[in-house]
Structure 1
Amino acid sequence: MAGRIRDEDIALVRERTSIGDVISETVTLKSAGGGNLKGLCPFHDEKSPSFNVSPARNVWYCFGCGAGGDAIKFLMDADHLSFVESVERLAGRAGIQLRYIEDDKGTPRPRPQQGQRQRLVAAHAAAVEFYRAQLSTAGARPAREFLARRGFDRAAAERYGCGFAPDGWDLLTKHLRQQGFTHQELVTAGLSRESRSGTLIDRFRRRLLWPIRDLAGDVIGFGARKLFDDDDGPKYLNTPETPIYKKSHVLYGIDQAKREIAKQGRAVIVEGYTDVMACHLAGVTTAVATCGTAFGADHIRVLRRLVLDGSAHSGEIIYTFDGDAAGQKAAMRAFEDDQEFLAQTFIAVSPNDMDPCELRLAKGDLAVRDLVASREPLLTYALRSIASRYELDTAEGRTGAMRAITPQMLKIRRWDLREQYLRELSHITGVDPEEVRVILKAADRANGGVVAGLPRPAKNISPALDSPESMVEREALKLALQQPVLAGPMFDAVEATEYRHPVHVAVRTAIAAAGGAASATGGAVWIESVRDACDDLASAALVGELAVEPLRIDGEPDPRYVSITMARVQFGSVTARVRDLKSRIQRINPVNNKDEYFAAFGELLSLEQHARALREQAAGGL
């Protein structure tokens, strides 16, 4: 496996990437004056443009939702790519050959088989066109009838790229070989396989096909449905594991659903390709399905990038399962794997054991939307499912239910959720809430008290950001981020201890951790290095905001403006210390504590002299 991309190459990608060109493919940008651009933010709904792009510094920031960064970060957010995927895509646009650090010595070398992915994706793209053309042939009539019986017309088939693998041993293989793909490439891609005689034949024959795409929209595999009774293969046959197709990471429909998933903060998990199609056509545009494997931890990580956006307490994951025993078992298995974001997990059980495709056929689009709307918390469903195995009208039954449910309750790590479901459990079992609490506490102590010992989160109270002192601190930070060559020495001379607002202190600390403003040359690389040095999301978001916010001066800043700004930052801090010291002196008894009194008085005189000097330095004002 290749290591990380060399830092110099990442910097070169940033340097050679026009952020305006990249963003304008998604956002309509107009001039905002001063060389900046403005448009409607693609990451939240708004009527007035608050999304700003600064081509000169190669950064963007939205004053509406707080998102921001460089071109790499924009692709990560807009197309839901990883950092490496985003860098590789921009490198491809700019014609840059990336190098990867492979060993402990940091020896850079080209990534092994760097062109392999492009070749495999190209082979799949050619296969999609071949299969789609075959769907209109006479031999594909059973495939067309299959789609029609499930309520999908020709437009739906084209929208999802449905195709047909014809009745021939090597028709696709010959077609792709004629296009220049090698024997090994077709085997590696999973499109062809070697027969017993050693000849190359097609992997899929006489089947209806769905192309499976990744987050970026590239086809990386196929799902194939059996159509003929004399086909002795499985009902569904998927592409085998390949360098680009990992079934535990793949979600069918994610390419079409990703923007709505991110926008709505919700993903609906269904069980098959036709269920995804039915949901999308019915208006549930956030539906996705696994491909030949159970929903697991890797799928959760994919969706976390879209739905939860790094937060453990936002967004929704909704499972749809049949209401039969198998569906209940699937729901319980999902619950076992899903503790990481239990609060956002729901289940929607379809009526009469119908999947979304069958439900749409029987009762229409509205019934599919109602199914999702009728969701309930997965843990509630799990508790009811366990309790339903016991006779709750008897004391023995209630005791048995409590014993069975308690292990599930102990997995809840958030105190607020645990308290909520304690009441839910009391309602389901008919056991008094206090008795339930006693049982859970006893079990918790036996389990080491892992859950009960968690403290409640403290409230975070911060001073106002719109005070005059805070606005001056904000201006100083903008100078360091936007004009580091100009502001560097003077800015770096004022320590983080001179800043009073906590988030400003955090950004000032991050600037120092990034090497200081005096060592920077500016631009997107500098901004990103400061963002990377931030210890929390609030300070990282503020860096993005300050990087594009105009300075509070007409024209270009000069050294005098920097000097005035830094003097005002220190003046606020010094005058605050003067006030504190005067208050302290008033509490000192000069008779009993003569030495302490005169030491404090001498310090006060020195601070007041320093304050007068700063006042004179800041006399030009803003």
Structure 2
Amino acid sequence: MAGGYISNETIDAVLNTTDIITTVGEYTKLERRGGNDWWGCCPFHGEKTASFHVDGDKRFYHCFGCHKGGNVISFIMEMEKLSYADAIESLAKKSGIPVKYQNGYNPEQNRSKIDETEKFIELYERTASMFHYFLMETPQGQKALEYVTKRGLTKETIEKFKLGYAPADRKWLFKFLRGKNFSAEFLGKSGLFSQKYPEYSFFSDRLMFPIFNRRGQVVAFGGRVIPPADESQRKYLNSGDLPQFKKRETLFGFSFAKNAIREKKSIIFCEGNMDVIAYHQCGLDYAVATLGTALTEDHIKMISGFVAGGTVYLSFDSDGAGQEATWKAIKLCREHDLTVKIIRLKGGKDPAEIMLNFGAENLTAQVKNAILDSDYLIFRLGEKYPMDTPEGKAKAALEFFQYVDALQSDIQKESCLEQLCQAFNLKPEAVKRDFNNRSQARERAYIRQNNNQTEQGTQIKLDAELRGLIAVTADLNQYEVLRSKLTEQDFTNPAARRLYRVLEECFAENVFTIRDILNRCDDENLVQFITGSISSGVYQSEKVSVIVADTVNYIKRNKLDAQRNKLLQRIKEYTVVTQEDQNQLNALLAEKFELDKQVQSLGKK
């Protein structure tokens, strides 16, 4: 990859200083399996069996499940959805590495996306501090403070989550921030103010919940009206998507919960911010909440590496909307092979009320008594449909089949179909027949829909050319041997030619490590192919010299064969009329003889 405006010195410092084991470990739990080889569940897709490999010596990662691979920069790019330059700047800042720029680039004159993002974060951090001050120290915030206190929140909890109060005066925040040298133009893009009335705060007279990113920085807000309130007001307001904040990719409370989630391999998904806070105060510090959206693929990818092999608990409301959210979340989690249990709260409308009325022990016990999602669905379907009619049983079975479809194990599918039969007094043969007929019909429809479609993109072909170059990437001591006998033009495989070019660039610039090579390679598919091949263990150091020799012979033999075939065609088409023609034919035959000798010589090696 090209470094863009960031100096190679900075890129090298980031690659040499950043510990890939520590960095990856912030997103998924890793375990050592001998030497400096680490394994864990992939943070990019849901799985129960660890197929994600991190080589601490070579400083690269590869997943044998989804085939993603690369170095620490590409990892941060993928996990944090950053550009290449932004990922380098983020890692450099975290490690205390000064970022140097090339070609006279001035970051103050040409501010990158990450610069603007950090400025927005600074704005939100400062605003959160002021809201917190209003809640804890001013008469204006007294009503909001009394509300959270009556709901059972302690001062420690309020401080931990940095709860605040947005003043009723909608112009106050604009005046305050302008006094701190934030421009009106910048504030207009911040999401804190009305688009129609730029000096009017979006949040006013509300209890404020700062929303933190995974690093613990404030990136957005949620605001709740304080009872008693005008019924015309929306109960909750959340920040819209911002440069530093995407609802689909953010979970309330995740920065506080991620260590507990990793340790316990469990997570509680809630509906609201107060639910999360109540769970945390009760010691159930692995609770998080979505932010005005349903559970998404991005949320699951965010947590799957932490809870693989563990349990996802769902704690949504028991009303119609809550049950629908539970149903969708169950299917999504099961599609990512995550075990799901449902918390059915009793004794209060939400965790905070149960905590207040019955104490932390009661809430903890209700979590421990959570039921499997299949049991929950059977119970719910039994209430939803009349089980004394054939139509009711058929509708219940069809809906339950959608859950079975999402299961990743045939044993689980079989077991759940048996559970359905027992619950609703159905014959197993009839249920399995309906399920299989439905699945086969869906499969046939899918085939008809896709039989004319072709896969886009170029597939990487592993031949002797690419095999040899991956071998020298695994053992770079062999590269000089290979380059002394071959040039880039000798390679016909496009992927091999691209990799040779990267190897040559790194060799010429004396930045010749695997992490440098992966960093220079701008073909993501090729990077993943390289990391997967090396991680497989095929390219052991003692075999690389043999593979390199085979590659050299293979390429030279192909070149000689091509030359020989052209020569044979010329000889075949040659017509002898004069002695001069005969002399030229004899020369061609002699050239063929020499080529035959060279081919035979290569064949003996």
Classify the TM-score, shorter chain.
0.5 to 0.7
One-letter amino acid of the structure 2 residue matched with residue 150 of structure 1 = R
Give the length in aligned residue pairs: 503
CA drift at 1:333? 3.9
Aligned-partner Cα distance in 2 for 1:133–1:369: 32
Alignment-derived partner of residue 244 in structure 2:
244
Choose from 301, 305, 322 the match for 1:304. Answer: 301
CA drift at 1:408? 5.3
Q: Give 3-state SS (helix, strand or coil) of 2:142's partner.
A: helix
Equivalent residues of 2:60, 2:531 under 8 A apart: no
Q: Give 3-state SS (helix, strand or coil) of 1:164's partner.
A: strand
CA drift at 1:134? 1.6
1:161 aligns with 2:162: yes
Alignment-derived partner of residue 583 in structure 2:
none
CA drift at 1:110? 6.5
Alignment-derived partner of residue 235 in structure 2:
235
Aligned-partner Cα distance in 2 for 1:515–1:260: 45
Give ranges in structure 2 of 5+ residues lacking alignment. Answer: 39-55, 104-108, 449-466, 488-492, 554-599
Could you say if the C-alpha distance between residues 94 and 514 of structure 1 is closer, same or farther in structure 2, counting changes exceeding 3 Å?
A: farther
Aligned-partner Cα distance in 2 for 1:366–1:536: 50
One-letter amino acid of the structure 2 residue matched with residue 359 of structure 1 = I
CA drift at 1:385? 1.6
Q: Give 3-state SS (helix, strand or coil) of 1:318's partner.
A: strand
Could you say if the C-alpha distance between residues 284 and 59 of structure 1 is closer, same or farther in structure 2, counting changes exceeding 3 Å?
A: farther
Equivalent residues of 1:359, 1:367 under 8 A apart: yes
One-letter amino acid of the structure 2 residue matched with residue 238 of structure 1 = N
Q: Give 3-state SS (helix, strand or coil) of 2:269's partner.
A: strand
Equivalent residues of 1:212, 1:223 under 8 A apart: yes
Alignment-derived partner of residue 279 in structure 2:
279
Aligned-partner Cα distance in 2 for 1:380–1:177: 56
Alignment-derived partner of residue 356 in structure 1:
351
Aligned-partner Cα distance in 1 for 2:398–2:485: 63
Aligned-partner Cα distance in 1 for 2:332–2:28: 32
Could you say if the C-alpha distance between residues 530 and 540 of structure 1 is closer, same or farther in structure 2, counting changes exceeding 3 Å?
A: farther
CA drift at 1:189? 1.1
Could you say if the C-alpha distance between residues 179 and 485 of structure 1 is closer, same or farther in structure 2, counting changes exceeding 3 Å?
A: farther
Alignment-derived partner of residue 134 in structure 2:
134
Alignment-derived partner of residue 499 in structure 2:
514
CA drift at 1:315? 5.6
Cα deviation digits, residues 373-404 of structure 1 (max 9, x gap) = 44444354334322333343565643453355
Please report the TM-score for the alignment, with normalisation by the length of structure 1: 0.65
Aligned-partner Cα distance in 1 for 2:429–2:523: 48
Choose from 95, 98, 108 the match for 2:99. Answer: 95
CA drift at 1:155? 1.7
Equivalence map 1:48-63=2 (5 Å):
50=36, 60=59
Cα deviation digits, residues 216-256 of structure 1 (max 9, x gap) = 43322111121253555322222234343333333211222
Tell me which moved more, 368-377 or 482-491: 482-491
Choose from 9, 13, 37 the match for 1:17. Answer: 13
Q: Give 3-state SS (helix, strand or coil) of 1:444's partner.
A: helix
Aligned-partner Cα distance in 2 for 1:41–1:483: 33
Aligned-partner Cα distance in 1 for 2:10–2:373: 44
1:489 aligns with 2:483: yes
CA drift at 1:477? 4.2
Aligned-partner Cα distance in 2 for 1:486–1:176: 60
Aligned-partner Cα distance in 1 for 2:130–2:57: 41
**With CA pairs under 8 Å and 6+ residues apart, which has the higher RCO, 1 or 2?**
2
Q: What is the RMSD of the two structures over their aligned residues, measured on CA atoms?
A: 5.2
Aligned-partner Cα distance in 1 for 2:404–2:10: 49
Aligned-partner Cα distance in 2 for 1:530–1:427: 57
Alignment-derived partner of residue 225 in structure 2:
226
Q: Give 3-state SS (helix, strand or coil) of 1:388's partner.
A: helix
CA drift at 1:371? 3.6
Q: Give 3-state SS (helix, strand or coil) of 1:269's partner.
A: strand
Give ranges in structure 1 of 5+ residues lacking alignment. Answer: 28-38, 100-108, 454-472, 494-507, 553-561, 575-605, 612-622
One-letter amino acid of the structure 2 residue matched with residue 268 of structure 1 = I
Could you say if the C-alpha distance between residues 510 and 161 of structure 1 is closer, same or farther in structure 2, counting changes exceeding 3 Å?
A: farther
Equivalent residues of 1:164, 1:208 under 8 A apart: yes
Aligned-partner Cα distance in 1 for 2:372–2:445: 24
CA drift at 1:190? 2.0
CA drift at 1:296? 3.7
CA drift at 1:301? 1.2
Could you say if the C-alpha distance between residues 526 and 123 of structure 1 is closer, same or farther in structure 2, counting changes exceeding 3 Å?
A: same
Tell me which moved more, 438-447 or 202-211: 438-447
Choose from 421, 432, 439 the match for 1:444. Answer: 439
1:170 aligns with 2:165: no
Alignment-derived partner of residue 388 in structure 1:
383
Equivalent residues of 1:165, 1:205 under 8 A apart: yes
Aligned-partner Cα distance in 1 for 2:401–2:218: 45
Alignment-derived partner of residue 373 in structure 2:
378
Tell me which moved more, 255-264 or 435-444: 255-264
Q: Give 3-state SS (helix, strand or coil) of 1:256's partner.
A: helix
Q: Give 3-state SS (helix, strand or coil) of 1:251's partner.
A: coil
Q: Give 3-state SS (helix, strand or coil) of 2:152's partner.
A: coil
